[in-house]
Amino acid sequence: MKRFLIAAAAGIALVFSAAASAQQKVRINLANAFPNSLTLIGEAPVKLSQKLTRLSGGQIDLRVNEPGALVPALQAIQATGQGSVDAAWSNAGFFASTDTAFNMFAAVPFGPGIPEYLAWVHHGGGLQLSREMFGKHGVYNIPCAIIPPEASGWFRREIKSVEDLKGLKMRFFGLGARAMNKLGVATQLLAPGDIFQALQLGTIDATEFSLPVMDQKLGFHQVAKFYYFPGWHQQATFLEFYINANKWKSLSDQHKAMIESACGDLTRDVIAEGEATQFKAMAEMRDKNGVQIKKWSPEIMAAIEKAWNEVIVEESAKNPQFKRVFESYSKFRADYAIWRDHGYVK
C-alpha cells in the first residue's frame, strides 16, 4: 500500500507537472517584413525562433511567417499594435508614416556606426524614447539586430553631378528619402519583395535597398550596373522584434528574459555575418556581372549632406517629437565625440 501511494503521488505530480508545462508553452505568430530566405535580415527572425526553441526547451514557439502571409510587409508593425498578429520583424522606419520621429530608431543619415548607435539606443536614452512612442500604439519593441553600412543606390547610368539625379524615380528608405527629394529625386518606399519588378519594368529608375550580399540576392545587378557607395543614409540600421503590448505583458518574466537574451545573441551574429560577407558579394558582382562599383564625388556628397541638414531644421520645426528625439541623439553624439575622436584610429 505504501508503494502504491508513493507511485500514485508521483503519478499525480507528473500530471500536474505536465499541465503546468502545457500552460507555460507560448505560441507567437510573427509577421516578417522581409522574405524568410533573404540573407541576414530575412533569415534573422528564423534564427531567433531557433534560439528561443533551444533556450526555452520548446516552451516558446515563435512562428515566422513570410511577408503577406498574415499582413502586408509594410503594415506588420501596425497589425501588431492592433492585435491582428502577435509580433513583427521589421524596423521603425516602416512605421514612420505614423510619426517621422520613428525613423530615428532605424537609421540616421550621416549618422553613427554600429558601436555609437548601439550606445545611444541602449545607454543614451534612445530605447526609452522609442518604447514610449511605440507604447502609445500598443507595441513593445526590442532591438534585435543591427547591420553595417548599406550601399546608397543602383543606377542604370553613371551619376556625375547633382543634375544627373534630377527627375529620377527611386525607391528610397527613411529620412534619406527626404534629402533625395530636395535634390530633385522622386522617392517612394517599396516593400523588399516589390523592388526588383518595379526596377525591371521601369516603374522606378533606380533603387537602394541594403547591403551588397542582400542586393545581390535580389538581383538588382541584372537591371542596373552602377552601384554607389557609401551608404550615407544608413551607416548602421536597427532591426527589431515588435510584440503586441498585451501579449508581452502576458508572458512570464522567464520567457521575457529568454526573448531579450536571444535578441542580444542574434545582434552579435548579425553584426559579425554582416561584416564578413560583403566583400565576396561585391567582388562577384564586379567580376562576374559587370557591375561598376562607384563612390559619390565630394561635390555630390556635400550637396546631399546640405540637403539633409535642411531636412533636420524643417522636421524639427514641424514635429516636436522629432525635435525631442533628435536633440537626445545629437547631445549624445556631441558628448561621445571626445571618445570617438581620441579612442579610434582614423
Q: Is the pLDDT of residue 228 over 50?
A: yes
- Residues 196, 200, 206, 211: what is their CA dihedral angle, to the nearest 10 degrees? 30
Q: Does residue 306 belong to any structural domain of this protein?
A: yes
Instruction: pLDDT band for 25, please (50, 70, 90 cuts).
Output: very high
- Output the pTM of the full model: 0.90
- 162 and 129 share a domain? no
Q: Is the pLDDT of residue 10 over 70?
A: no
Instruction: pLDDT band for 37, please (50, 70, 90 cuts).
Output: very high
- 162 and 303 share a domain? yes
Mean pLDDT score of the chain:
94
Q: How far apart are the first and last CA of the chain?
A: 80
Instruction: pLDDT band for 18, please (50, 70, 90 cuts).
Output: very low
- 22 or 17, greater pLDDT: 22
Q: How open is the CA angle 235-237-241, to the nearest 5 degrees?
A: 170
- 109 and 158 share a domain? no
Cell of 117: 548607435
- 219 and 252 share a domain? no
- 296 and 328 share a domain? yes
- 192 and 245 share a domain? no
Q: Does residue 63 belong to any structural domain of this protein?
A: yes
Q: Cα(319)–Cα(100) distance, rounded to whole angstroms?
A: 8
Query: Which has the minimum average pLDDT: 189-193, 228-232, 267-271?
Result: 189-193
- 181 and 328 share a domain? yes
215 within 8 A of 147, measured Cβ to Cβ: no
The range of the structural domain enclosing residue 85 comes to: 22-147+236-277
CATH number at residue 291: 3.40.190.10
Q: Mean pLDDT, to the nearest integer, of 172-176? A: 95
Q: Does residue 4 belong to any structural domain of this protein?
A: no
Of residues 165, 112, 119, 103, the one with CA closest to residue 296: 165
Q: Does residue 320 belong to any structural domain of this protein?
A: yes
Q: Is the pLDDT of residue 8 over 70?
A: no
CATH number at residue 115: 3.40.190.170
pLDDT of residue 96: 96
pLDDT of residue 24: 81
pLDDT of residue 154: 98
Q: Mean pLDDT, to the nearest integer, of 273-298? A: 98
Q: Mean pLDDT, to the nearest integer, of 285-290? A: 98
- 298 and 207 share a domain? yes
**Domain total in the chain:** 2
pLDDT of residue 3: 54
